[in-house]
Structure 1
């Protein structure tokens, strides 16, 4: 137990030092803090220049709530929960294997270090996106998880910052499941994770933005605003009651597994879920809601 406590404390102190460096070192290529600000301003600018819903205000409904979620989930959440939990979970997993005389390396299928860097990065991207696509499906199909995911689907007007409106429990689920394939395919480093993660953030911002783009033929590869808005539709056919268009970065998985659904131009469809009028409207009550609601 003392070992796990040390991991938690070291995780907090390490991440706190990292966050302080992010605020100071503004010219570093992988500075997430200023990178997120720059990316958000860029996509917001595209919304202002090329609005799909022309009557939607620049400061749309819940704009400031979503902006708070964006910074809380991207930075403070890591400091409070995610880093310590992920590091501790990884150590517990290794200890369990150790009791049986095994180690993570025993499960490695191959090491991407032996591949060209571009190919290893591409494989990591495909694996992580597919795992996240399946995790997203679970969030819709498992009642307890759906109660957490409702926070994200409480968005009533889409905009770039809606991308990072989600309950703090979601990344715990995503990262816990993502650890398994990362553990069995060795060779990933922090830079690989950083590149793939920020690319996913960029696509996610665009998916939620007030933009009427589908990228032409590339819509069968990349998730896009015209596809993703149907994921947030309040009313869907009965056969799609668990949701549609689960893609995170890639739309390919939805087309392969037939969970794609774009019946028409979704520009003005109503967003949300059944009885969302009763869902809490502020951050604190939205955070508490899944914890006191039965699945």
Structure 2
């Protein structure tokens, strides 16, 4: 136990130092703090220059709530829980492997680090995006997880910062499912995958932005605003039970596995989910929603 408490303590102090260096511009080019700000300002600028819904306010509904979510989830959430949780989980998994006389290298299917870096990172990107596509489907399919994912789907007007409105449990689920598949193809440092993360961040921001883009023929490969807005549609087709258009960065998985759905121009469709009229409107209440819901169910006769 003392060992794991030390891991948690070191994780907090290490990440705090990292975040401080980010803000003070003491890190290298892969600066996620100012990278997030720069990408957000650029995509917001594109919204203002090329608005899809021209009557949507510059500071749309919940703009400031989503902006807070954006910084909280991208930085403070890591400081509060994710880094410590990830480091502890990695250590536990490594020790589990040692108990059966194995190591990460023993279970690697192949090591992408022996490939030229662009090819290795492309494989990393494809595998991680496919796993996250499947994880996203689980968030819609499993009621327990859907109650957390409702936070993201409570967005009523789309804008770039809606991309990072999500409950803190979501990255726990994503990272837990993603860790082992990524571990068995190679060991990647944060700097190595910075380009992948920045690319995913840009596409995610654009997908949620007030932009009417679909990239032409590339819409069958890249997720886009005209496709993703249907994922947030309040009214789903009768044939769909668990959702549509689950792609994060790539749309190709939805086309391959028949979960794509773009029946018409979705510019002015109603967003949300059934029953969202009673969903909490503020950050704390939204974060507590799944817990409060569980208590209410337990208290019901």
Short-chain TM bin: over 0.9
Q: Residue in 2 aligned with 1:162?
A: 162
Q: Residue in 2 aligned with 1:205?
A: 205
- In the alignment, the residues of structure 2 paired with residue 256 and residue 214 of structure 1 have an alpha-carbon distance, to the nearest angstrom, of 18
| 8 Å contact kept, 1:112–1:188 | no
- In the alignment, the residues of structure 2 paired with residue 85 and residue 193 of structure 1 have an alpha-carbon distance, to the nearest angstrom, of 20
Runs (4+) of structure 1 exceeding 6 A deviation are none
Task: Compute the RMSD of aligned alpha carbons.
Answer: 1.1
| 8 Å contact kept, 1:26–1:34 | no
Q: Residue in 1 aligned with 2:120?
A: 120
Q: Is residue 44 of structure 1 aligned with residue 44 of structure 2? A: yes
- In the alignment, the residues of structure 2 paired with residue 187 and residue 91 of structure 1 have an alpha-carbon distance, to the nearest angstrom, of 15
- In the alignment, the residues of structure 2 paired with residue 160 and residue 249 of structure 1 have an alpha-carbon distance, to the nearest angstrom, of 14
Q: Residue in 2 aligned with 1:5?
A: 5
Q: CA deviation at 1:187?
A: 3.6
Aligned residue pairs, count? 295
Structure 1 range deviating more: 58-67 or 231-240 = 231-240
Unaligned runs of 5+ in 2: none
Q: Residue in 1 aligned with 2:183?
A: 183
Q: Residue in 1 aligned with 2:171?
A: 171
Pairing of 1:52-63 with structure 2 (within 5 A): 52-63=52-63
Q: Residue in 1 aligned with 2:85?
A: 85
Q: CA deviation at 1:193?
A: 2.5
Residues 100-140 of structure 1: CA deviation (Å, up to 9, x unaligned) = 12212111011112111111010000011001000000000
Q: Is residue 146 of structure 1 aligned with residue 152 of structure 2? A: no
Q: Structure 2 length as normaliser, TM-score?
A: 0.96
Structure 1 range deviating more: 18-27 or 155-164 = 18-27
Unaligned runs of 5+ in 1: none
Q: Residue in 2 aligned with 1:195?
A: 195
Q: CA deviation at 1:56?
A: 0.4
- In the alignment, the residues of structure 1 paired with residue 30 and residue 292 of structure 2 have an alpha-carbon distance, to the nearest angstrom, of 38
Q: CA deviation at 1:292?
A: 2.3
Q: Residue in 1 aligned with 2:251?
A: 251
- In the alignment, the residues of structure 1 paired with residue 2 and residue 187 of structure 2 have an alpha-carbon distance, to the nearest angstrom, of 29
Q: Residue in 1 aligned with 2:106?
A: 106
Structure 1 range deviating more: 182-191 or 76-85 = 182-191
Q: Is residue 282 of structure 1 aligned with residue 282 of structure 2? A: yes
